Structure 1
Amino acid sequence: MQLLYAYRNRDISRVRLSLESLRLQTYENFEVIFVDYGSQDNYSKAVEIIVNEFEFAKYWYVGHPGLLWNKSKALNFGIKKAHSEFIIIADVDVLFTEHFLETAVKLSQSNSFSLFKIGYLSKEVTEQQQQHLNLNHIQTTHIGDTFGIGLFPKFALEAIGGLDEFFHFYGSEDEDLNSRILMSGTLRNNCDDLLLYHQWHERYPQKRKESLQIQPRLTNVLRLNQRHFLWNESQQMLHPNPKTWGNCFTKSDLKTLEQPDVVIQLDNILAHLEHCFGEDLKKHPKKVVQVIISEAAYYNTLKYKIKQSLGKQTQLYMSMKAVNDLILKNILFQYRDRNYNYSISDDLKQIRFTIDFKTATHGKI
């Protein structure tokens, strides 16, 4: 039995506790494939040390920090690396009761996959568990159903091409996976025993999602992901990925982007940006292209604001948040399988997007 973790820039104390709960399992014939998808160096170095403390776990670093978070690609890499007949998709926030794997082995059927109940812990209880792990008679805030934590036959995951790699950031990738597995004829089993607990952690503030941050965020991405899941379902889309699913770029691929062949410098003018991403980028095949968008000083002047309020004819500008959303949508819809580097400056006044049109898409490993 093998368990897959997908990780990026998360609190390492939760990782340690999750793996510690696996160390206490009554069933011991298992391995962990821990896939770090593009974490920053300070996170990746720290989490690698922790993962390597557990003899049953192997750490893999794929992607690089310039790529957007894609849980599907991380898990698909793990699916390709796995050699066991059955796979458990895990999560760094989850704690496993000592009989979880023993139960999972009993539930393993070649024609079905299993989903589990999960109890949610309060902040106080989570902190207590970090001091002393003991999942007996533990208090929960509520109990729910999991979509993303499940037991799957490996061949069933391979038959549908793993998780749909369209999904970025968070939302719907797990529901979509379950829907397509059912579509393939594999049956669903719901385990009603409470065997999993979810560690408390702070949620990303909704208001921050609506403003530009150094950490890339796409406005309305949860709804976009939901729409894609429902579209897959309505179209009976069984295998949405290319044949190269599960392949990932590596940190060395980031070096390819450090010396672009073409550099395009633009202000945050609407027409210029729409033309660049709708037409200009297509004119540079077989090249590495860098687009640098800076917030124009004029955009924040009183003169521009007065002209806008009076309805006088002037160039339309985009906020840097709107620029961010424009580029991220282009990545999701057109460039998600290419090697690119996306970054936002510390002062939030400049965005850089570098993309490689020279080399093959989908990565090498």
Structure 2
Amino acid sequence: MQTQITIIFPFRDRDATRVRLSLQSLELQSSKDFEVIFVDYGSQDSYANSVKNTVNNFDFVSYMYVGHPGLLWNKSKALNYGIKTAKSQYIVTADVDVLFGETFIEKALDLAKSNTFSLFKIGYLSQKITEQQQSELNLKAIETKFIGDTFGIGLYPKLALEKVGGVDEFFHFYGSEDQDLNYRISLTETSLSNCDDVLLYHQWHPRYPQKSNKQLTQMPRLSNALRINQRHFIRHQEESLLHPNSKNWGFVYKKNDKLLLEESRHKIELSNVSSHITHFFREEIKQYNDSVVTVVVTEAPYYKSLKHLIKKLLGKQTQPYMSMKEVNDLILKEIIFTYRDYNYSYLVSENLNQIFFTIQLNINSYDGL
């Protein structure tokens, strides 16, 4: 008999402990009429190996590694791959921080209808309670800090998800992709049916400070990413846009595709001179179509020199430079707006004074473009 519900976990570079606990809560479900597709989207080997070993302890879970570490985190692509892979009538979009009450699947089966989708209440756990649960799972006696609504933990008919083309793959980093999906689903003949029972619990984790997005870090971060995502969602509302993705939504690169980037025939070395960076990415890069090109941007020693600082303070004419954070943001925007469906690799050096960007500029490598 075909499973009725598939739970999709998008994942990247998280600790295996919270994954284990989430899957343990599913192991205790009163109804076993579900399966899990665990989509690891480009984790580093240290994380991937650990979580794969954890996931393989649960026979209802299929572990799938897609993407590669050079790609930016894209929850939408991970979810869409799971949606395309699933064989069940209904999909639950999940999160590795979530613990499932033992009657969650039972309730989801009651709610499952071809013309509705459901969102759930969730209880947020303190650090102390999370650590207690990680030591010994016991959801029958649990305290929550507060109860909130979820936008991203939803139960959807697979046909409705296919009708809207899944989650919009424009969204990178964090913000608005869940609300956008729910809005577009509502444009179909699929109506929202909220579940008011508290059947989900969120494991505590440190919040990433938004101010860190204004600093250059090895982990790619884009300034104002949350606002850009919000604007994208608002435009969909203004246009009543149903299906924003290409015909090949759900397409993902695989780990071996990163090997193709090692065949780069062109290496472009740039310093962080503003005009050089801007002109290359807006104009010169076009000449490398149908090839693999590597761009290395190195912070010029002169940029932080006393001589350069004094000339700027005195208002004397000098070559405008970009900070490495500004270079980072420019390239990340180019990826999101132009190259998000290409095979590429993005890396910031440990000392933060170099950025490496390699891209396979072969338009035929992705049929959806």
Task: Tell me if TM exceeds 0.5.
Answer: yes
CA distance in 2, matches of 1:293, 1:110: 51
Please tell me the residue identity of whatever aligns with 1:206: Q
Q: How many residues matched? A: 364
Give matches, 1:1-365, under 5 Å.
1-358=5-362, 360-362=364-366
The alignment partner of 2:82 has SS state of helix
- 2:33–2:105: 8 Å Cα contact kept in structure 1? no
Please tell me the residue identity of whatever aligns with 1:298: Y
1:302-355 deviations in Å (ceiling 9; x for gaps) = 110111111111100111000000000000000000000000001000001001
The alignment partner of 1:258 has SS state of helix
CA distance in 1, matches of 2:212, 2:189: 41
Instruction: Give 1:207 shift.
Output: 3.2
- 1:245–1:362: 8 Å Cα contact kept in structure 2? no
- 1:7–1:37: 8 Å Cα contact kept in structure 2? yes
Gaps of 5+ in 2: none
CA distance in 1, matches of 2:146, 2:320: 49
CA distance in 1, matches of 2:125, 2:366: 38
CA distance in 2, matches of 1:42, 1:232: 38
Distance 1:336 1:214, change over 3 A: same
CA distance in 2, matches of 1:5, 1:223: 25
Please tell me the residue identity of whatever aligns with 2:251: N
The alignment partner of 1:324 has SS state of helix
Please tell me the residue identity of whatever aligns with 2:224: N
Please tell me the residue identity of whatever aligns with 1:250: K
- 1:339–1:363: 8 Å Cα contact kept in structure 2? no
Please tell me the residue identity of whatever aligns with 2:347: S
CA distance in 1, matches of 2:70, 2:34: 33
Instruction: Give 1:184 shift.
Output: 1.4
- 1:292–1:350: 8 Å Cα contact kept in structure 2? yes
- 1:338–1:360: 8 Å Cα contact kept in structure 2? no
Q: Report the TM-score, using the length of structure 2 for normalisation.
A: 0.97
Please tell me the residue identity of whatever aligns with 2:198: L
**Aligned residues: CA RMSD:** 1.1
Q: What is the percent sequence identity of the aligned residues?
A: 58
The alignment partner of 1:192 has SS state of strand
Instruction: Give 1:205 shift.
Output: 2.4
Query: 307-316 or 102-111, which moves further after superposition?
Result: 307-316
CA distance in 2, matches of 1:345, 1:118: 39
CA distance in 1, matches of 2:317, 2:140: 69
Distance 1:29 1:363, change over 3 A: farther
CA distance in 1, matches of 2:354, 2:367: 28
CA distance in 2, matches of 1:236, 1:219: 27
CA distance in 1, matches of 2:16, 2:180: 28
Distance 1:150 1:258, change over 3 A: same
